């Protein structure tokens, strides 16, 4: 064990130096209370009743339902047909386009507590609480008890973390698993217990199987082990065996990504609507400019000052492991900057070093002016500020529309949906209607071909209005839910809206979209088809340009 990794233990809660040793019961209980309190706060302030905002969130939630249903039904003799039939009925499924780890965890929650967004959000909130505890265990080796706790709360309560922790998304589970893996990695370095390294690698593997981009931390793992043990030690059989096992276990994910994850591959270097040019100065500063929005100005400014004062002489009981933290931040920053598709949520994984640096500065100042009580006050104030000032976007109306459609749809009906938030509608059809016999058909799948998203190009069919009406009838559609003026700048979608407003259809209900942000979808209209609708089972075929495949199967027919 290298002395540079050792920190003396202390059981004093006030001004206690950093410790690499296990926490005592008082420390652990206090942080468990903080973690549970923050998780509960995130849960109760999150949308939980079908009010999805981000388009990927209901898809992730639906993927978990698919895994749960798959494990319940165990169709071992027809796995592919089962998946195709599921997609045809609920065409928001993206189970193979993303790593599957979170979906397995969601399946457990669904199986235990029921199928709803309430349960899906509870799963994410649980990860959020576990993140606080894991971050504290990691940070306390570099900061005293109170400031490590404050930094952990600041990480979990940062506006960007709180936003995506109140959506059914991949970022918070992946960050949680990564933080715990790094904690166990450093415990291995300190104790030389190989089982800890094995568990750390399994947790990192689980994080990568949750969100692939967290894989940049593999370099941080290697460098931490290299610095602790030297290159000669790493080539011993026990390390080589673990490395080989880790790489072998990544092979299935690599196959899935290259076969089905073309959209993710394209986002690295192939998108045309990029926010900035990758190799420009603006491109390399893009994520740096997001820090104030992600965390507020105070945290990144404090972090910069913390790094600035770190080299100054002074007597300290402990200090952060700056090489490791800087490597973590820089490696991640370069990795995300090289990706064409830029979104603030992507760089959540490089925020832990920022809060450690900010916590270090606060600890240094507090120790010199004897204001140790500032740590919990700052943490509570920061969390309160996030909850009060950064409300999560939510949209109401899709659940109501799904229920209204289900009330008027005959047994085994095909419900046509035309609108931007098809994922929200389909998830609510699956969970909020009590109608497992209904199938949702997306209008964009009938009339358009979109590889990933509309901004990257769209191909239209060439149907007349009469042909669109006949197409709807032949697919057995008795019920339609349509967003007013959805993509009507496209000729095919404009013709669809004209058909729905013709005598061929009867308007049943208008459902306003109520949102706490400005959105384009203002209204959903429910229609009843008055035409000669085909009855019985129908053969349905849907193209998936993103993977270059066409899915075919039988739907409808009053199936239970």
Tell which of 355, 389, 423 closes a domain: 389
Q: Using the 8-state DSSP alphabet, how is residue 212 labeled?
A: G
pLDDT of 92 reads 93
Q: What is the DSSP string of 462-517?
A: ---HHHHHHHHHHTTEEEEEEETTTTTTSHHHHHHHHHHTSTTEEEEEEEEPEESS
In this structure, how many other beta carbons lie within 10 angstroms of the beta carbon of residue 127? 22
Q: Distance between CA 560 and CA 429 in Å, rounded?
A: 15
Mean pLDDT in the chain? 89
pLDDT of 20 reads 72
pLDDT of 462 reads 93
Lowest-confidence segment of 6-10, 12-16, 38-42, 96-100 by average pLDDT: 6-10
CA 193 vs. chain centroid, Å, equals: 33
Mean pLDDT of 293-301: 95
Same domain? 239 vs 383? yes
User: Could you tell me if residue 540 is inside a domain?
Assistant: yes
Same domain? 345 vs 402? no
Residue range of the domain that includes 251: 3-48+116-389
Lowest-confidence segment of 47-56, 336-345, 452-461 by average pLDDT: 452-461
Same domain? 521 vs 401? yes
Same domain? 180 vs 213? yes
10 Å CB burial of residue 516 (0-12, 13-18, 19+) is middle
User: Does the pLDDT at position 7 exceed 60?
Assistant: no
User: Does the pLDDT at position 401 exceed 60?
Assistant: yes
Same domain? 359 vs 448? no
Mean pLDDT of 414-420: 96
Alpha-carbon separation of residue 351 from 109, 147, 346, 377, 379 (angstroms): 28, 16, 11, 21, 16
pLDDT of 11 reads 37
User: Could you tell me if residue 65 is inside a domain?
Assistant: no
Same domain? 324 vs 221? yes
Same domain? 308 vs 406? no
User: Does the pLDDT at position 129 exceed 90?
Assistant: yes
User: Could you tell me if residue 104 is inside a domain?
Assistant: no
User: Could you tell me if residue 94 is inside a domain?
Assistant: no
Same domain? 24 vs 164? yes
Tell which of 360, 389, 418 closes a domain: 389
Residues 491-501: tens digit of each pLDDT: 999 999 999 99
pLDDT of 2 reads 39
Measure the CA dihedral 133/138/144/148, to 10°. Answer: -50
pLDDT of 60 reads 97
Mean pLDDT of 18-40: 89
Same domain? 356 vs 292? yes
Q: Distance between CA 271 and CA 316 in Å, rounded?
A: 49
User: Does the pLDDT at position 259 exceed 80?
Assistant: no
pLDDT of 17 reads 62
User: Could you tell me if residue 97 is inside a domain?
Assistant: no
Tell which of 348, 365, 389 closes a domain: 389
**Residues 349 and 164 sit within 8 Å (Cβ to Cβ):** no
Same domain? 382 vs 531? no
Mean pLDDT of 206-221: 95
Mean pLDDT of 329-335: 96
pLDDT, greater one: 555 or 94? 94
**Residues 382 and 157 sit within 8 Å (Cβ to Cβ):** yes
pLDDT of 315 reads 52
User: Does the pLDDT at position 146 exceed 80?
Assistant: yes
Q: What are phi and psi of 537, to 5 degrees?
A: -65, 145
Q: How many domains does the chain have?
A: 2
**Residues 15 and 367 sit within 8 Å (Cβ to Cβ):** yes
Strand segments, DSSP code E, in 166-313 are none
User: Does the pLDDT at position 240 exceed 60?
Assistant: yes
Q: Would you state the structure tokens that stand for residue 503, as one six-digit string?
A: 């005598």
Same domain? 410 vs 360? no
Mean pLDDT of 429-450: 93
User: Does the pLDDT at position 4 exceed 70?
Assistant: no
User: Does the pLDDT at position 267 exceed 60?
Assistant: no
Q: What are phi and psi of 77, to 5 degrees?
A: -90, -5
**Residues 319 and 363 sit within 8 Å (Cβ to Cβ):** no
User: Could you tell me if residue 224 is inside a domain?
Assistant: yes
User: Could you tell me if residue 169 is inside a domain?
Assistant: yes
pLDDT of 10 reads 37
Q: Using the 8-state DSSP alphabet, how is residue 22 labeled?
A: P
User: Could you tell me if residue 96 is inside a domain?
Assistant: no
**Residues 13 and 149 sit within 8 Å (Cβ to Cβ):** no
Same domain? 416 vs 360? no
User: Does the pLDDT at position 197 exceed 60?
Assistant: yes
SS3 state of residue 521 = coil
């Amino acid at each position: 064990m290298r002395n540079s990794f050792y920190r003396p233990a202390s059981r004093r809660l006030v001004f206690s130096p950093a410790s690499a040793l296990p926490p005592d019961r008082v420390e652990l209980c206090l942080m468990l209370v903080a973690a549970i309190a923050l998780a509960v706060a995130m849960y109760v302030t999150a949308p939980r009743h079908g009010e999805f905002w981000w388009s990927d969130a209901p898809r992730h939630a639906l993927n978990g339902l698919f895994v749960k249903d798959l494990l319940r039904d165990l169709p071992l003799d027809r796995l592919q047909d089962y998946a195709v039939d599921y997609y045809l009925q609920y065409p928001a499924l993206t189970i193979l386009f993303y790593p599957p780890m979170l979906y397995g965890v969601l399946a457990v929650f669904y199986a235990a507590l029921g199928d709803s967004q309430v349960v899906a959000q509870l799963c994410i909130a649980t990860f959020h609480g576990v993140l606080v505890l894991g971050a504290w265990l990691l940070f306390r080796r570099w900061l005293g008890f109170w400031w490590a706790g404050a930094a952990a709360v600041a990480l979990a309560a940062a506006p960007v973390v709180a936003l995506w922790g109140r959506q059914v998304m991949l970022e918070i589970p992946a960050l949680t698993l990564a933080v715990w893996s790094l904690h166990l990695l450093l415990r291995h370095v300190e104790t030389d217990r190989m089982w800890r390294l094995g568990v750390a690698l399994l947790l990192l593997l689980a994080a990568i199987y949750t969100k692939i981009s967290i894989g940049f931390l593999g370099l941080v793992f290697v460098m931490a082990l290299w610095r602790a043990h030297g290159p000669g030690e790493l080539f011993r059989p026990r390390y080589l065996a673990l490395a080989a096992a880790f790489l072998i276990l990544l092979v299935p994910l690599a196959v899935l990504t290259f076969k089905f994850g073309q959209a993710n591959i394209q986002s690295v270097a192939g998108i045309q609507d990029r926010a900035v040019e990758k190799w420009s100065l603006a491109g390399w500063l893009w994520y740096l400019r997001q820090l104030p929005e992600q965390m507020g100005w105070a945290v990144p400014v404090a972090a910069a000052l913390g790094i600035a004062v770190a080299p100054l002489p002074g007597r300290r009981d402990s200090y952060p492991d700056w090489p490791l933290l800087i490597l973590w931040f820089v490696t991640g920053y370069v990795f995300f900057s090289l990706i064409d598709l830029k979104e603030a949520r992507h760089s959540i994984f490089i925020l832990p070093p920022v809060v450690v640096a900010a916590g270090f500065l606060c600890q240094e100042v507090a120790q010199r002016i004897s204001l140790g009580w500032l740590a919990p006050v700052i943490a509570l104030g920061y969390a309160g500020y996030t909850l009060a000032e950064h409300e999560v976007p939510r949209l109401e109306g899709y659940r109501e529309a799904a229920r209204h459609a289900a009330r008027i749809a005959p047994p085994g009906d095909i419900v046509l949906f035309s609108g931007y938030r098809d994922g929200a509608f389909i998830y609510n059809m699956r969970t909020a209607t009590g109608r497992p016999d209904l199938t949702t058909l997306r209008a964009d799948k009938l009339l358009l071909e979109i590889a990933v998203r509309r901004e990257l190009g769209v191909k239209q069919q060439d149907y007349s209005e009469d042909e669109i009406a006949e197409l709807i009838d032949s697919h057995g559609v008795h019920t339609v839910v349509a967003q007013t003026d959805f993509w009507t700048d496209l000729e095919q979608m404009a013709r669809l809206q004209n058909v729905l407003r013709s005598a061929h259809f009867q308007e049943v209900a208008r459902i306003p979209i109520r949102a706490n942000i400005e959105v384009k979808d203002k209204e959903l209209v429910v229609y009843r088809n008055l035409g000669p609708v085909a009855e019985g089972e129908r053969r349905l075929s849907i193209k998936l340009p993103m993977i270059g495949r066409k899915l075919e199967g039988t739907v409808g027919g009053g199936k239970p």
